[in-house]
Amino acid sequence: MDDESAIRQLVADRVSAMRTGDAEAICGSYAPDAVVFNLAPPLVQPPEDSRDVAQLRAWFEDKGGSVWSEVRDLKVTVDGDLALCTSLERMGTEPGSPQPFSLWLRSTLGLRRLDGGWRIVHEHRSTPFHMDGSLRAATDLEP
């Protein structure tokens, strides 16, 4: 499998893991020293949080066991042992879940080839916000 195909498979595997609530698979996609700028506070996640299976399992349980995920417009650029992915991602829960939600977000992944496989070393996810003075997250946008 070529590098771009392997990276696209890693992204697809993460989508599947979100849909099944597989915290181990998601946490295993990060390098030990990954830098993560996630949607939830704080501004920068501590590196160990991206690999904390128990914390992610608890988040899934709060959402009913899993979170629906979809990736669109995935662009992959590979240069040697480094790669960059940009995409739009939708995540949400089923309407009857304990905490229903649905939103589109922007995602950037930086990957490095480590021990013969690709691992996420940098992740940045964001939602736009309304510039009308309210500063509300624009979670109602769709591509």
Helix (H, G, I), strand (E, B) or coil at 67: coil
Cα separation of 97 and 66, whole Å?
Answer: 10
Number of H helices, E strands in the chain: 3, 5
Element (H, E) at 143: none
Per-residue tens of pLDDT for the chain, all 143 residues: 899 999 999 999 999 999 999 999 999 999 999 999 988 888 888 878 888 999 999 999 999 888 999 999 999 999 999 999 999 999 999 888 888 889 999 999 999 999 999 999 999 999 999 999 999 999 999 99
Backbone angles phi, psi at 14, to 5 degrees: -65, -40
Q: What is the pLDDT of residue 98?
A: 85
Q: What is the pLDDT of residue 48?
A: 83
pTM of structure: 0.92
Q: What is the pLDDT of residue 50?
A: 84
Q: What angle do CA 82, 23, 26 make, to 5 degrees?
A: 10
Q: What is the pLDDT of residue 1?
A: 82
